[in-house]
Amino acid sequence: MAAVVCRLVDGLHHLECAITDQSSESLTSDESAEPNWNQTKLLDLSDSIRAGLRDGDISGRDSEKLSSFLEAALKDEERKYPTLDFDMIEYARLDKLLAELIQFGEIIKTSGLTPELMLRLRVDISQAKNLRGIWRRRFMNIFMMDQYRCAILIQGGRLKDVSFNSSLDYDLGKWQTKKVTCPVSEVEANLEFEPGHWWLNITCAERDGIVNSSLETPTKGVYGFTALPLLTGSEEFIHHNTVKYVREGRTSDMLTGLISQVGRKIRILRGYRLKSILGPEAGLRYDGLYTIRQYGFKLDSNTNKYRLELTLERATDQRSFEDICKVPKPSQLDDWALYEKLEGDKVKLLQGESSYLEWKLERQEERVDREEWQRARLFRASFSPSGVASLGEQPDRRITFRP
């Protein structure tokens, strides 16, 4: 028993030395006595740690950076005038980082972590509790941080130049924006939007010019490049880098304008309502360039609806999809939660309690429907040798276009 205690003490001493010696250089712009924090790197660290906590993973290089940051932040609080101010904490979501770290510690008390990881976690959680207590005493308005973020979201953030209009009759949203006209070359357009770019809704994407409409239809944005938002319908893998998109509806929903785009590259955006393992958890995300390999639609005599099928192949030499699927990041999901609350408040204020309850019910049904689809898809995939669920046999009487 004594030997075990000695090993734990030695492990703790080694861990504390590692935390003390760990440089916070990556989080500050220089190594001066007074830290000059790099808010972008702080946000990246916060997002990385919070994503890891949600996945139950607290190992890796960023966990060492977290230990370094917590120690440096506590030392900073010992100064007469601490350098970590309210705006920095708000921007980097450091309040949420501390809250989720402390909550994680309460959840995994009985987990089977290695002694070293458990000791590091205990040190980090203890420092996080101390830092949170200090901030609560120093900032009387820290409890109103989300209200402050909501104001930023509207005034100059993700909802800038976008307004709610309850009179709009549109299933995918009631937001509008002013048209923008700032044409640039295709090269500049590709630099403007990198795969992984994320918006709260398609109207925000229209504001920025990647699409020219808030409708679920292919358009050429202000940069002259065709973009297709996949907001509804479903999608399945065919094989590596190739997917099949399916939707049902009227003839006008069959995106016949894409016939001329078969064999060409277009921009693909995916929304959270899309039933696809590639779809984002929330909002709308630009997923890169795809080539339309096949276009087809047919009339289903049983439902009297048309069925569209698009075969899309992702272009190579782009940001990996494994990396893109990390978007939206935790800080972006923070904005999404604020956006949903703001939209609900707008519906209640402008349309009344009845419309608000209907809006809330629709959102809940959307979540349940998508979760059920995901469970069914994973169940089917478990019986597939390749781990990818099949779309089944191709229907007859198809109008098909190939390059």
Residue type, 217: T
Q: Residue 401 in 3-state DSSP?
A: strand
- In this structure, are residues 255 and 226 in contact, taking their beta carbons and an 8 Å threshold? no
Domain 184-401 has CATH 2.30.280.10: yes
> What pLDDT does 105 receive?
84
Classify 17 in phi/psi space as left (phi over 0), alpha (psi -120 to 50) or beta.
alpha
Q: What residues does CATH 2.30.280.10 cover in the chain?
A: 184-401
Q: Where are the alpha helices (DSSP H) in 58-144?
A: 61-77, 86-91, 94-107, 115-138
Q: Please state, in angstroms and rounded to a whole number, the distance separating the CA atoms of residues 93 and 43.
A: 7
Classify 50 in phi/psi space as left (phi over 0), alpha (psi -120 to 50) or beta.
alpha
- In this structure, are residues 210 and 227 in contact, taking their beta carbons and an 8 Å threshold? yes
> What pLDDT does 298 receive?
93
- Residue 247 corresponds to which tokens in the numbers above? 């939707």
> What pLDDT does 384 receive?
61
Q: Please state, in angstroms and rounded to a whole number, the distance separating the CA atoms of residues 284 and 368.
A: 19
- β 305-314/242-249 pair status: antiparallel
Q: Please state, in angstroms and rounded to a whole number, the distance separating the CA atoms of residues 394 and 363.
A: 33
User: 195 preceded by cis ω (within 30°)?
Assistant: no
* Closest to 359 (Cα-Cα) out of 163, 173, 146, 164: 173
What is the distance, to the nearest Å, from the Cα of residue 203 to the centroid of all Cα atoms in its chain?
17
Q: Please state, in angstroms and rounded to a whole number, the distance separating the CA atoms of residues 173 and 159.
A: 14
Q: Residue 305 in 3-state DSSP?
A: strand
Q: Where are the alpha helices (DSSP H) in 352-395?
A: 353-382
- In this structure, are residues 76 and 35 in contact, taking their beta carbons and an 8 Å threshold? yes
pLDDT in tens, 87-128: 999 999 999 999 999 998 887 755 566 777 788 888 999 999
> What pLDDT does 371 receive?
84
- Residue 84 corresponds to which tokens in the numbers above? 């970590």
Q: Please state, in angstroms and rounded to a whole number, the distance separating the CA atoms of residues 168 and 201.
A: 15
> What pLDDT does 369 receive?
87
> What pLDDT does 114 receive?
74
Q: What is the mean pLDDT of each run of 10 residues along the chain (403 residues)?
A: 39 38 49 75 96 82 90 94 94 97 80 74 94 95 93 94 82 75 49 89 94 92 87 90 94 91 95 93 96 94 91 94 94 97 93 92 88 81 55 42 52
Write down the pTM of the prediction.
0.84
Angle made by CA atoms 281, 262, 231, in degrees to the nearest 5: 20
Site of tokens 């940069």? 223
Q: Please state, in angstroms and rounded to a whole number, the distance separating the CA atoms of residues 217 and 229.
A: 7
DSSP 71: H
> What pLDDT does 16 receive?
38
> What pLDDT does 113 receive?
67
Burial grade of 216 (CB within 10 A; 0-12, 13-18, 19 or more) = buried
